Chain A
C-alpha cells in the first residue's frame, strides 16, 4: 500500500491519468487535478450535452449519472471520478432509457432554449428511479435544484408526471 509521495506537492498542475467508463465505453484521459468533471467531459471528451451553468451546484445544468446516481459534474474534480461509471445525456439518449421522457418534453414544449434540459432529464430519470408515482409536489421538490429560465416549470412537471403515470402502467406515453 502506497502512502503520499511528497514530490507531488511540487508539480501541482501536472496532469494525471484517470480512467472511467463513460456511456459504456472505457476512457482514459490526462487531466489536471483542478479540472472539474464537467470541463473534462465537455472539453476533453467533447460530450457537450452536459452544460456548465453556474458551476457551483445551484442550477443543475451539469447533472450526469455517476455510478447510477445523479450528481453535479461541476461539483467534483475529474480525478475524483477515477474508476467510476458515468452516463451523460448522450449515453442516456443512445441507450433509449429516457426516450419516453424526451418525447414527452418535446410534445409538451417543456423546453425553449434547451440549456437546462439535459440536467432536467437526468434529474427526472433519477426521481422516477427512486419514486414510481411521485406527486406533483414531489416532482417540484425534486426539481428544486434545476433552474429553467424559459418555461415556468409547469410543462416540465406535466411531462414528468405523464411519464411517471405511463411507466407505472407499464405502457408508453400517449
Chain B
C-alpha cells in the first residue's frame, strides 16, 4: 500500500458547482441522494477526510446568489444561508435587528473558520455544542427549507430533533433563516464557559426577553453543549415570566434547570458539573439582563 492510500483523506467523489437552488436540488436527486451540499465546509471537510461521510457527489452551493444577503422582510430579518460567520460580526443589520446573533458570533470557532463557515451550514449541521443553532431557538427563528416539492418554513422549536438530526429531509437545503426583528422592549444576553476561547463550550446560553419596565413578559432561554440538541429550558423560563429579576426569581430559575436539563455522561465534564455550570451561567446572564432593565 503506498502512502497515498494510507493517508487520512476523503473517499473519491464527483464535484458539481451549482448556479441555482434548482440545479443543486436536481443534482442531489440524480445522485440518488448519495450526495452532500457543501458551503463553508468547515465541519464537512474534516468529516469527509475522516471518512465519517463518503458521498458519491459533492454539490458546491457557494455560488448560488439566491442564498446570499441579509435583508428586512416584514417583521423579520432574512439571513441568507450563505452568510458567513464573519459577516454576522460585521453586517450592520445583524447588529441592529438580531443583536443576540452578533453577541454569539465572536464565540464561534476561530477567525479563519469564521471567514469560511456559513450560518445556514451551522444550523443545518445542528451540532449541539454550536452557538448559532441554539440561538435560533432563543430567537424563535424560522428556517426556510427548499426541497423537491417547494419551499417551507419550519420553526426552530420544531427543527432540532436529535443528535445531528433535524427536520431536514434528504436532498433538502436551508435557503435562509428568518429572525423576528429585535424590538425596543426586548433585552438579550449571551455567554459561554469554555476551557479556552474558541474551544467548544462546556456550557453556553443565550436568551431573549420582552419586558415592561422591570417585569418580564416573555423570555426564551436556550442552552448548548448540554445534550443531544440545543435545548430551551422551559421550566426556568416559566419561573421568570410575569415578575422582575430579583435574587429570589433568579435562584428559582436556576433551581428549575434540574428539571429542564439532563446532561449526558462524559468523562471530561460530568453531568453534575455541567448542571452546576449551567446554573452559574444562567445566574450571570439573568443578572446582566436585570442590570439592563
Binding site for B on A (CB under 8 A): 1, 3-4, 6, 8-9, 11-13, 16, 32-34, 36, 55-57, 60, 63, 66, 69-72, 74-77, 79-80, 82, 123, 126-127, 140-142, 144-145
Contacts and interface: CB of A to CB of B under 8 A. Distances in A.
Contacts of A13: 12
B181 interface: no
Given A55-B49, A123-B111, 13 more contacts: A3-B23, A9-B56, A34-B11, A56-B46, A57-B45, A71-B116, A72-B113, A74-B49, A75-B46, A77-B15, A80-B60, A144-B196, A145-B112
A85 to B, nearest CB: 14
B62 interface: yes
A16 B60 CA distance: 15
Nearest to A137: B197
A120 to B, nearest CB: 12
B58 interface: yes
A126 B49 contact: no
B38 to A, nearest CB: 7
Contacts of A4: 16, 18, 23, 26-27, 30, 59
B20 interface: yes
9 contacts: A3-B23, A4-B16, A34-B10, A36-B49, A55-B8, A79-B17, A79-B60, A127-B111, A144-B199
Contacts of B56: 9, 12
B110 A145 contact: yes
A77 B45 contact: yes
Nearest to A78: B15
B148 interface: no
Contacts of B115: 66, 69-71
Interface in B83-138: 86, 109-113, 115-116
A168 to B, nearest CB: 19
Given A33-B14, A57-B46, A72 B111 contact: no
Given A56-B46, A76-B45, A77-B45, A145 B10 contact: no
B235 interface: no
Q: Across the A-B interface, give the 5 residue pairs with the lowest CB-CB distance, nearest first.
A: A145-B110, A4-B27, A144-B198, A33-B15, A13-B12
B223 to A, nearest CB: 23
Contacts of A32: 12
B238 interface: no
B197 A75 contact: no
Given A3-B27, A12-B56, A33 B13 contact: yes
Nearest to B110: A145
A155 B48 CA distance: 36
Nearest to A33: B15
A80 B14 contact: no
Contacts of B48: 34
